[in-house]
């Protein structure tokens, strides 16, 4: 058997032994947002370290656990903390949790992240609905023998971020009075932030926000036929657009500041997404 698939199955068996819960929506909480899963009715928690073979994050501020529960009556699994390619993991390990959540039963995936703002008029603290992505600065997680059990060899990528989910999120933001920008997310490897010249490159390529996660996860989820949506928290203006050097602290402080609003939008969106069936 394919080694990547074998590892995934081991993790799935480990999950099945510990948790009996079938989520509809999978939510990934990004940098600094991982502590804000507190408005759900928790039914179970599973530390990544308790799943055999599961990749565990080394980044400070990234907790590592799945939380299972309900947002109103919508069954969700929340990833509090993700692993990143820059930590040195194989890209197949980086997306393993996404694949695992699909096996748990999740049909819809809600991705969040902190990102640097590039788009015209963007400010630190803005929220951006992801409309599309540029992911080919990191290896595709589909490289290697295709896992036919998960999806086809050459998956279509013409609509990664589901139009219906986007409409629902835009509606939720409007009703809550939360301003929501829209734009294209680009994933670079990190861990260094970009040079001003690299940010210019991203801008020329059509990106509005730059980060170090998400796009590879969306590729893996798209491969498995999940419905995907995503929001970036613009935690800072990207290098060269901001007039000061960037620090991880600025990213975390802004994410902390915006988190209550972000959480409100995510939770209301999930309630509505759950009704889509």
To the query of whether residue 114 is one of the catalytic residues in this protein, the response is yes
Q: Applying CB under 6 A, which of residues 34, 69, 116, 274 lies at the interface with ligand HPA?
A: 116
Contact between 193 and ligand HPA per CB under 6 A: yes
Q: Which residue has the tokens 């939008």?
A: 265
β-bridge pairing 41-47 and 65-71? antiparallel
- Indicate whether 75 belongs to the interface with ligand HPA (CB under 6 A): no
Q: Is residue 258 part of the contact set for ligand HPA (CB under 6 A)?
A: no
Write out the H or E segment, with its range, that includes residue 101.
helix 96-104
Under rule CB under 6 A, residue 21 binds ligand HPA? no
Structure token digits, residue 259? 């988190």
Q: Looking at 92, 213, 232, 269, which residue is catalytic?
A: 213
Nearer to ligand HPA, 194 or 268 (CB): 194
- Site membership for ligand HPA, residue 194 (CB under 6 A): yes
* Cβ contacts of 79 within 8 Å, gap of 6 or more: 26, 27, 28, 29, 66, 97, 101
* Secondary structure class of 190 (helix, strand, coil): coil
Please spell the DSSP secondary structure of 195-256, one letter per residue.
PHHHHHHHHHHT-SEEESSSHHHHHHHHHTT-EEEEEEEEEEEPBTTBSS---HHHHHHHHH
Q: Is 181 helix (H, G, I), strand (E, B) or coil?
A: strand
What tokens were used for 196? Answer: 């001003």
Tokens 């402080």 — which residue?
Answer: 253
Query: Is 223 a residue of the active site?
Result: no
Report yes or no: 114 and 187 within 8 Å, Cβ to Cβ. Answer: no
| 227-237 and 108-117 strand pairing | parallel
Q: Which of 112, 222, 235, 269 binds ligand HPA (CB under 6 A)?
A: 235
265 binds ligand HPA (CB under 6 A): no
Is residue 213 annotated as part of the catalytic site, yes or no? yes
**Catalytic annotation present for 195:** no
212 is catalytic: yes
Taking the C-alpha atoms of residue 106 and residue 14, their distance in angstroms, rounded to an integer, is: 17
The first and second tokens of residue 203, run together, are: 């801008």
Whichever of 102 and 181 has its CB closer to ligand HPA, that residue is 181
Exactly one of 238, 265, 267, 270 binds ligand HPA (CB under 6 A); that residue is: 238
For ligand HPA, the binding residue among 142, 186, 210, 224 (CB under 6 A) is 210
Indicate which residue of 79, 85, 87, 220 is catalytic.
87
Closer to ligand HPA by Cβ: residue 30 or 64? 30
Total residues at interface with ligand HPA (CB under 6 A):
13
Which of the residues 37, 114, 173, 267 is marked catalytic?
114
Using CB under 6 A as the binding rule, whether residue 92 contacts ligand HPA is answered as: no
**Which residues belong to the active site?**
31, 62, 84, 86-87, 114, 212-213, 236, 248
Residues near ligand HPA (CB under 6 A): 114-116, 193-194, 210-212, 235-236, 238, 246, 251
């Amino acid at each position: 058997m394919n080694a990547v698939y074998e590892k995934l199955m081991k993790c799935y068996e480990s999950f099945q032994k510990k948790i009996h819960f079938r989520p509809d929506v999978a939510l990934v909480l990004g940098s600094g947002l991982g502590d804000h899963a507190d408005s759900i009715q928790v039914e179970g928690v599973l530390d990544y370290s308790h799943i055999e073979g599961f990749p565990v994050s080394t980044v400070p501020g990234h907790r590592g656990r799945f939380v299972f529960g309900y947002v109103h009556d919508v069954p969700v699994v929340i990833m509090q903390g993700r692993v990143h390619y820059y930590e040195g993991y194989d890209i197949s390990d980086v997306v393993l949790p996404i694949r695992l959540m699909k096996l748990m039963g999740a049909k819809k995936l809600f991705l969040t992240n902190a990102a640097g703002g590039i788009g015209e008029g963007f400010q630190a603290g803005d929220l951006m609905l992801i409309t599309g992505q540029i992911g080919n600065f990191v290896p595709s997680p589909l490289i290697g023998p295709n896992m036919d059990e998960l999806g086809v060899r050459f998956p279509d990528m013409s609509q990664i971020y589901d139009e219906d989910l986007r409409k629902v999120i835009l509606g939720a933001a409007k009703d809550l009075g939360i301003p929501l920008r829209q734009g294209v997310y680009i994933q670079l490897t990190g861990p260094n932030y970009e040079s001003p010249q690299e940010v210019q490159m991203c801008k020329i390529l059509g990106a509005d926000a730059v980060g170090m996660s998400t796009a590879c996860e969306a590729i893996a989820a798209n491969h498995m036929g999940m419905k995907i949506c995503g929001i970036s928290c613009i935690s800072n203006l990207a290098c060269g657009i901001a007039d000061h050097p960037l620090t991880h602290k600025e990213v975390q402080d802004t994410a902390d500041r915006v988190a209550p609003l972000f959480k409100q939008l995510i939770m209301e969106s999930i309630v509505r997404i759950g009704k889509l069936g």
